[in-house]
Amino acid sequence: MSETLACLNPTPQERGLTLPQLLEHRISHLFETIPLVGELGQLFAEHGHDLYLVGGSVRDALLGTLGHDLDFTSDAHPDQIEALLRTRTHAVWDIGRAFGTIGANIRVADGAAADPTATDSTATDQSPDAWVVEITTYRTDVYRPDSRKPEIAFGDSIDEDLIRRDFTVNAMAVHAATRQFIDPHAGLADIAAATLRTPFPPERSFSDDPLRMMRAARFTSQLGFAVTDPVRTAMTGMADRIAIISAERVRDELSKLLLTDHPREGLDLLVSTGIADHVLPELPALRLELDEHHRHKDVYQHTLTVLDQSIALERSRGHAPDLTGRMAALMHDVGKPATRRFEPGGKVSFHHHDIVGAKLTRKRLRALAFPGQFVKDVAKLVELHLRFHGYGEQGWTDSAVRRYVRDAGDQLERLHILTRADCTTMNRRKAERLEFAYDDLEHRIGELQEQEELKSIRPDLDGEQIMAILGIAPGPVVGRAYKYLLDLRLDEGPKNELEAGAALRAWWAEQPESTS
């Protein structure tokens, strides 16, 4: 088999096939394993309409990675699409009607919706027999130079629809009734060559929708494909055009990139083309000039390595792709440029870059319209990522371990991953020492959690008990007393009610309000 077909992941049975033979085999496999495609194609044909499986669905079918989402395009208009889908399922939604898109959830086992009593729903059935189907009328919409949103226009042919798509690997279609393969821009050859190229000249394609430049970065990571030189040149020359795209769309595309298996390649493309200067300027700012003796790390490359290692740990610890943890890995050192100092003797310091970095992280993620809780969680991880350092040299008291857990809160597991991933030293002995120290810390946390349920740690007395023991009304003093008891619990572990009451009275005797 030709090496140029390796990225199509041929099975043992497919080895030795030519590219046309492999194409025929994959299309036949598609219709055999997903009869719904042919059934919908026949339904539309019976009513005088063409229906094509299109875009990423065709690409993934040819790559052997198609999931349970099916994207189609048709000459039928939205009302006609909805009417036809409702003959197949009640679970139809029209949230994308303004863009010509009607969606449906179809369970192929019995041809019914996941919830036969539903009328309109965007919920999806997780059954292996359930398919999320979206059908869009042919479109020819474009962006205007000063617009953040496309002007929607319906097209008249499949060729018009395909040429407006972002990349040739997404500009292929398969007729759902006749199985005809449509590839006017040689997308299959680009898949075989692992290449990202645009149907139009890239300058026009990116002018129509600048977000496509970020999609290029995402597909670089998701598919392992490389952009062509003209695409890279256009991205570099048009980087500032990304500024017209809404923060929400940029956020969503950045999130998709970070959730790929190998986000490093895509992030590096954003940085090298200058697009990151506009959407995430803290990342290229990490490319600090090295001192002449190379006594400190390349912070930018270190950051990408930390991201790689955090993803590896995420997998090894049994977690699904985690946007919060990955964003924290990406942002953990963004405070370094602002805090870099050259010390006597040629050393370089970044004092308080954790605190500064947390502030910068909050500012950037809010600008990208991330949800408030997400911003808080990522900023907390950035602020805490240095807390562990020093544990291996001097050890921690049980009190310090309790505070570490309390401060991390529900981000403790992510903090474990980030802290471990932040070790990128090439010094094997140092790396082993840090790993051993963190193993020990996690072991101690586990022991203390068994004894004290650290994740839900509270003072030994509540507010009502504090007021009753001290004979005081609600007010600031109750809050101070509560904090004292919490600190006491963290320092000395749990106490019974009599012990806690005695400690509270001793504390109260030293307060100025106690004699007033």
CATH number at residue 250: 1.10.110.30
Please calculate the CA angle 468-472-478 and round it to the nearest 5 degrees: 90
Going through 183-249 in order, the beta strands assigned E by DSSP cover 195-196, 226-227
Residues 305 and 270 in one domain: no
Whether 19 and 59 share a structural domain: yes
Q: Mean pLDDT in each 10-residue stretch from start to end of the chain (516 residues)?
A: 66 87 93 96 97 96 92 96 94 85 83 41 51 91 60 82 94 97 96 94 92 97 96 98 95 97 97 97 84 60 95 94 98 92 79 93 97 97 89 75 88 94 84 84 83 66 87 86 85 85 89 76
Identify whether residues 43 and 103 lie together within a single domain: yes
Question: Which tokens sit at 110?
Answer: 């019995």
Residues 143 and 207: beta-carbon distance below 8 Å: yes
Same domain (yes/no): 176, 128: yes
Q: Is-contact 217 257, C-beta < 8 A?
A: yes
Q: Which residues contact 173 (CB under 8 A, 6 or more apart)?
A: 52, 53, 54, 55, 58, 73, 158, 161, 162, 181, 182, 183
**Cα–Cα distance for residue pair 171/158, rounded to 1 Å:** 10
Q: Are residues 362 and 303 part of one domain?
A: yes
Question: Where does residue 208 rank: exposed (0-12), middle (13-18), buried (19+ CB within 10 A)?
Answer: middle
Report the Cα 408 to chain-centroid distance in Å.
Answer: 21
Q: How far is CA 4 from CA 9, 189, 191, 471, in A?
A: 11, 9, 9, 82
Last residue of a domain, one of 279, 296, 329: 279
CA distance 15 to 12: 5
Residue 137 is inside which H or E element, if any? strand 130-137
Q: How confident is the model at residue 495, as a pLDDT?
A: 85
In this prediction, residue 266 carries a pLDDT of: 98
Distance from C-alpha of 513 to C-alpha of 516, rounded to nearest angstrom: 5
Residues 188 and 199 in one domain: no
Q: Are 62 and 79 in contact (CB under 8 A)?
A: no
> What is the model's pLDDT at position 454?
54
Contact 466, 442 (CB under 8 A): no
Q: Are residues 292 and 268 in the same domain?
A: no
Q: Are residues 369 and 325 in the same domain?
A: yes
**CB-based contacts of 423-431 (< 8 A; 24+ apart in sequence):** 423/309, 424/297, 424/302, 424/305, 424/306, 424/309
Residue with tokens 């190379």: 294
Q: Looking at the structure, tell me whether residues 292 and 388 fall in a common domain.
A: yes
The Cα 252–Cα 259 span in angstroms is: 11
CATH of the domain at 421: 1.10.3210
User: CA 331 to CA 164: how far, in whole Å?
Assistant: 35
Split into its structural domains, the chain has a count of 4
Q: 397 to each of 28, 79, 404, how far by Cα in Å? A: 65, 68, 11
**Domain, as residue range, for 493:** 463-515
Which pLDDT value is given to residue 143?
Answer: 58
Asked if residue 399 lies in contact with residue 491, where contact means CB atoms within 8 angstroms, the answer is yes
What's the confidence (pLDDT) of residue 147?
59
Instruction: State residue 113's pLDDT score.
Output: 41
Q: How far apart are CA 135 and CA 47, in angstroms?
A: 15
pLDDT value at residue 411: 94
| 471 and 436 both lie in a single domain | no
d(CA 427, CA 424): 9
Looking at 279, 306, 324, the residue that finishes a domain is 279
Say whether both 409 and 372 belong to one domain: yes
The predicted structure's pLDDT at residue 141: 59
Buried b (16+ CB within 10 A) or exposed e, 85-115: beebbbbbbbeeeeebbbbbbbbbeeeebbe
Give the angle 84-150-142 at the CA atoms, nearest 5°.
95
Task: Look at the alpha carbons of 282, 285, 287, 289 in this order and tell me if their dihedral is positive or negative.
Answer: negative
Last residue of a domain, one of 193, 210, 230: 193
Same domain, 200 and 89: no
Among candidate residues 47, 71, 43, 45, the one with its CA nearest the CA of residue 58: 71
Q: Are the C-beta atoms of residues 215 and 225 closer than 8 Å to each other?
A: no
What pTM was estimated for this model as a whole?
0.81
Label residues 37-62 b or e (16+ Cβ within 10 Å = b).
bbbbbebbeeeebbbbbbbbbbbebb
SS3 readout for 40-87:
HHHHHHHCCCCEEEECHHHHHHHHCCCCCEEEEEECCCHHHHHHHHCC
